[in-house]
Amino acid sequence: MDATSKQELTVNGMTCGHCAQTLTAVLGTLSGVTSVDVDAAGGRAVVHAAHPLSTEVLAGAVDEAGFELLAVHERTR
Ligand SMILES: [Cu+2]
């Protein structure tokens, strides 16, 4: 992969490690995603992918996991 995307998500509703596991699993199924780091206490998730994912796709996945996507920050490196 020559183009690597890193997006930081602000997520509302996570309370414990199980929440983090659920969100990690759902985000991990999205096309192009290579790894996911979720910080439940901080309400953040970092999605590493081959290409940036649309806010709609990310919001859908977060919603599917039972949480609410508040914001997406693009990180390019
Ligand atoms: Cu939980």
> From the CA of 1, how far away is ligand 1's center (Å)?
33
Q: What is the pLDDT of residues 17-73, one digit of tens each?
A: 999 999 999 999 999 999 999 999 999 999 999 999 999 999 999 999 999 999 999
CA 10–ligand 1 middle distance (angstroms): 16
Please, is 67 exposed, middle or buried when counting C-beta atoms within 10 Å of its C-beta (0-12, 13-18, 19+)? buried
Q: In the prediction, which pLDDT does 75 show?
A: 83
- Rg of the chain over all Cα atoms, to the nearest angstrom: 11
Query: Does residue 2 register a pLDDT over 60?
Result: no
Q: What is the pTM of this model?
A: 0.91
User: What domains sit in the chain, N to C, each tagged with a CATH number?
Assistant: 5-76 (3.30.70.100)
